[in-house]
Amino acid sequence: MRPTSLRRQRGFTLVELVVTMVIIGIVAGMVTVFISAPVRSYLDTAARVELADAADTATRRIARDVRLALPNSVRVDPSRKYLELLLTKTGGRYLAQGDATPGNILGFDPDAPPANPNVFTIVGAAPSGVQAIRAGDFIVVNNLGDSAPVNAYECTAKCNRATVASVAGNSVTMVANPFLAANPSNATMRAMPSQSNRFQVVTTPVTYYCAPGGTLQRYSGYAIQAAQPVNAAAAPLLNAPVSGQLAGQVAECGFSLGQLANVQRGLITINLTLGVKNSSAGQVTLMQQAQVNNTP
């Protein structure tokens, strides 16, 4: 008899390999059944969180711009797909007739124009930093919206919006003084001063558009128009210097503007639904409201 150490060692038979592979397949299938559901649930939850975060970011951005809007400048078109406003960055008090502070008054009476009609003095500290008034900004006084002659969008026959040419300390030089460019014999054609001698500084118009392709777009830097632009495929929105997508996967989107009773404020409601209908991730709907200060 041969020694045990010299005997041939047996390997796995083909039947044993096949049985082993079948058992491994069964175990893998069972593991997949138990693991796939939690993984799919996690992925769906993560997708809904991303949708909610995108919707929240978009609505907060719109609400922030609305709160910075020039009084009585927010307007929504009948389709509720376009929202436009005039964005302000700061404001202040201008030197008026009767103030004891030396400087240049901001004139409104064409019958008695000031010595330097295109220059006015800011009372108090001039805005600085990101709020500093710069050339190209607009000075707006007593904006009452659609009521003529104090609508910052409309500057044909009369205007309450002046373009800044330069700023030196507390002295603001305008390209021209539209507050004096009126018919002296017709009081209704004159711009109206602010009762509190206040002005706002507008930087740009801004439009938000709920596009039919499932996106929310933002446009800015274009020229101020008397009529609200409601065609993204035409000027001024088509060639706006600044434009971009604020949100994608937009299923529903709309704006509404209402007035709060007995107060000088408006209320913008933003409805935004993101997501694909009947998808595993579902849809996320947010409604954001922002108050509009309509006291000029």
Give which of 220, 224, 215, 222 is closest to 152, Cα–Cα: 224
Q: Tell me if the pTM is above 0.75.
A: yes
Residue 12 gets the label, from left (phi > 0), alpha (psi -120 to 50) or beta, of beta
CA distance 295 to 16: 87
208, 255 Cβ separation under 8 angstroms: yes
Q: Is residue 8 part of a domain?
A: no
- Host domain of residue 88: 50-293
- Alpha carbon distance 95, 113 (integer Å): 14
Closest CA to 94 of 104, 85, 80, 86: 104
Is residue 3 reached through a cis peptide bond, with omega within 30 degrees of 0 on the bond before it? Answer: no
- Scan for tokens 């930087």, then name that residue: 203
Please state, in angstroms and as integers, the Cα–Cα distance from residue 221 to each residue in 19, 65, 74, following that order.
Answer: 72, 14, 16
Cα-Cα-Cα-Cα torsion 64, 87, 190, 110, nearest 10 degrees, comes to 130
Classify 251 as helix, strand or coil: strand
Which pLDDT value is given to residue 127? 94
Residue segments in the chain with a per-residue pLDDT below the cut of 50? 1, 6
Per the structure, the count of domains in the chain is 1
Assess if residue 74 is contained within a domain. Answer: yes
pLDDT attached to residue 6: 47
- Phi and psi, residue 219, nearest 5°: -125, 145
Q: Tokens for 149, please give them.
A: 């002659």
Residue 41 in any domain: the answer is: no
H and E: helices and strands count for the chain:
1, 12
Rounded CA-CA distance 224/237 in Å is 11
Query: Is position 213 within any domain?
Result: yes
Residue 40 domain-assigned?
no
Long-range contacts of 282-285 (CB under 8 A, 24+ apart): 282/44, 282/48, 283/51, 283/251, 284/48, 284/51, 284/52, 284/55, 285/55, 285/252
**Which tokens hold the place of 265?**
């404020």
The whole-number pLDDT of residue 7 equals 52
Please give the mean pLDDT across all residues of the chain: 85
**One-letter identity of residue 266:** G
In a domain, 156, yes or no: yes
pLDDT in tens, 253-295: 999 998 765 567 788 999 999 887 666 667 888 898 898 888 7
How does DSSP classify residue 212?
T
- How would you class 159 by CB atoms within 10 Å of its CB: exposed for 0-12, middle for 13-18, buried for 19 or more? buried
Position 259 scores a pLDDT of 72
Query: In this structure, is residue 38 part of a structural domain?
Result: no
Give domain status of residue 256, yes or no: yes
